[in-house]
A and B are shown apart, each in its own frame.
Chain A
Amino acid sequence: MNDSAGSKPKFVYVTYIRTTAEKLWRALIEPEFTRQYWAGTWQESDWKPGSSWQIMIPDGRVADAGEIIEFEPHKRLALTWRNEFKPELKAEGFSRLTYELEQQGDMVKLTLTHEAPTPESKFLDAVSSGWPAILSSLKSLLETGESLEATRKWPKGM
């Protein structure tokens, strides 16, 4: 859902996943998980506040890069995020992404908030259409052992 009440709009997406906060946390950051549901990509970082962070495309390019802001295992992860492979999106500068995890019985409420880098943001449009597919696939992976087919590989020609 896009909420444009402030000067910089943001995309907020909530999903509930039958899993533990520990397992979901690993699935959000470890390459063996992200490769399955996040278009074949993986992240590189030592996951300490202030450290650099990047998303790697299977062909060796960097998709996105930024810096870790908050790292509170199983609860909250915040980082800055700039697109690196599309010049018009890179030019918008750094967005801010936050994951919040809340264990509720045998499931976890996952809230993703992606704040746009600029008031009028093509970057936000792009991630707003991407996140529901990626997070739906993450939920399928954790609940059924299989991610959604369409999210397993980096799209040809992108």
Chain B
Amino acid sequence: MPEFKPKTVFTPKTVYVTYIAASPEKVWQALTDPAFTRQYFAGFNVDVEPRTGGAFFLRYPDGRVHISGKVVDWSPPRRFACTWLVEGVENFGELPECLVTYEIEPAGGSVRLTMTESHSWDVPPAILAGGQSGWPAILSSLKSVLETGKPLGIDMKPPEGFVDAVKRAVSAKPWRREAGD
């Protein structure tokens, strides 16, 4: 399948690996089917056009968009990558989009799922902390859903200093300087 190449260069910043007793197809379904994501992904419904270059959304239960993006790689059941732009939250929409990549590999009777969050600018640690606290909760719950049928009721809160760091970044827009403007 041809890869859709975004113009932006993304650098991996946060990686989370988990091993799940399930088939690669089942893990793929858990990542791309709203009947699964609404259980483990803070209630969000994934809405994805199943092709490289297609549209990608995470929607609130009422249908409003929380995350929008483009599918950069749709290679079932091995690799799913899409860009993320946070919408519907004050300020966040002005942050540059990031890239989220899921890799699914067979690993001795189970599956290794690797999530990589990549960014196009020098993201401050206080903003990276958002993903670093969120991904373990989301992916721990995904694993529980696939292995036990029951998600974890984790209370997802942004880490201390996260919202302020986003406001500072949106006001200073350091990614413009990095791009040479």
Contact = CB atoms under 8 A, between A and B. Distances in A.
A148 B125 contact: no
Contacts of A14: 133, 136-137, 140
Interface stretch (B17-25, B41-49, B61-69, B78-86): B17-25
Contact of A144 (B112, B133, B147, B153): B147
Interface stretch (A27-35, A61-69, A72-80, A133-141): A133-141
Contact of B108 (A132, A139, A150): A150
Contact of A5 (B110, B112, B125): B125
Contacts of A133: 19, 107, 112
A105 to B, nearest CB: 6
Interface residues of B, number: 29
Contacts of A139: 140, 143-144
Contact of B148 (A13, A143, A149): A143
A146 B21 contact: yes
Given A16-B154, A104-B155, A106-B153, A148 B140 contact: no
A1 interface: yes
B140 A149 contact: no
A133 to B, nearest CB: 5
27 contacts: A1-B14, A1-B15, A1-B132, A2-B15, A13-B136, A14-B137, A15-B140, A16-B140, A18-B150, A104-B155, A105-B153, A107-B154, A132-B18, A133-B19, A133-B107, A136-B18, A136-B143, A137-B19, A139-B143, A139-B144, A140-B21, A144-B147, A148-B19, A148-B21, A148-B108, A148-B109, A149-B108
Interface in B89-134: 107-110, 112, 125, 132-133
Interface in A49-70: none
A60 to B, nearest CB: 25
A135 to B, nearest CB: 9
Given A5-B125, A107-B154, A150-B110, A17 B140 contact: yes
A149 B109 contact: yes
Contacts, number: 72
A4 to B, nearest CB: 12
Contacts of B112: 133
A143 B153 contact: no
A65 B16 CA distance: 27
Contacts of B155: 104
Output the residue of A16, A105, A107, A151 with the most chain B CB within 10 A: A16
A151 B141 CA distance: 21
A17 B14 CA distance: 21
A136 B112 CA distance: 10
B9 interface: no
A5 B143 CA distance: 30
Contacts of A18: 144, 148, 150, 152
B26 to A, nearest CB: 15
A144 B154 contact: no
Interface in A70-106: 104-106
